[in-house]
Amino acid sequence: LSFDAGAHAYDRFMGRWSRLWVPALLDAAGVGPGQRVLDLASGTGEAAVQAADRVTRTGRVIGVDISLPMLRRAAARLAGQPALLAAMDGTGLACSDRTFDSVICQLGLMLIPDPERATAECARVLHDGGRLAAVIWSSREHVPHIGILCEILGRLLPARREEIERSFSLGEPHRFRGLLERAGFRDIRVTRERRTLVMESFEDYWEPVVAGGGRLGQLYAGLSDESRRAVREEVHDRMNSFWSGDRLIMEAEALLGAGRR
């Protein structure tokens, strides 16, 4: 799956929720004035925008991602801010050793095909004592706004199931902690972070999926008309327990992991 094709609708499908975890991410990384911060898998720049506010004009945020369309959207949001963007693979960062005070990664580490290598790269580019903080999704049952759709698509597309389930591949605290330990981080903390997601209607949730937003929207768009109708109906039915009046309200859980180089 390409992140390029889904960039146009990413913020409507995922960005509006992912930003809820960014303040805690930046706190865990100790991001502050004057720092040099790397935003790994920056996407459309949700974390980079908030990090740029914290580092002020005396600091700099470097956002990297493999998707140029995503970075173009990030560039529009970061215009005039103390930030630079670059197309870069997280498993082979074109950065010198000990370059950054902090590395942040917002809901991207679990999607990198080789998270072990990416985490080792984060350690390499940090100053001694620098901090890495990353937010990843918890296990599927704790992330219903994408977990339900992932389960259904995985059933319909068994050859793509492993790829679909990658969002939850690190979603147990011991697994996440082990990843950071093997990269040499110390003073590691992994916490469960829950946020409340509010959708004004089912269509408010579903329209970005139909528009091909993100990886899941791309998979959905590739189904037959009959399969798309069936998926929509099943997702709608399984969200019945989340209705509160005219709105859908659900809890979503992410894991926040942080460690010091």
- pLDDT, tens digit (0-9, with 9 covering 90-100), for 25-70: 999 999 999 999 999 999 999 999 999 999 999 999 999 999 999 9
Residue 256 φ then ψ, to 5°:
-110, 115
- 133, 256 contact by CB (below 8 A): yes
- 102, 81 contact by CB (below 8 A): no
Report domain extents, the chain: 7-260
Say how far apart CA 112 and CA 17 lie, in whole Å: 20
The whole model's pTM is what? Answer: 0.93
* Residues 205, 210, 212, 218, Cα dihedral to 10°: 110
pLDDT tens sequence across 211-253? 877 788 889 999 999 999 999 999 999 999 999 999 999 999 9
Say how far apart CA 61 and CA 79 lie, in whole Å: 12
What do you get for the CA distance between the two ends of the chain, in Å?
Answer: 32
What's the fold here for domain 7-260?
A: Rossmann fold (3.40.50)
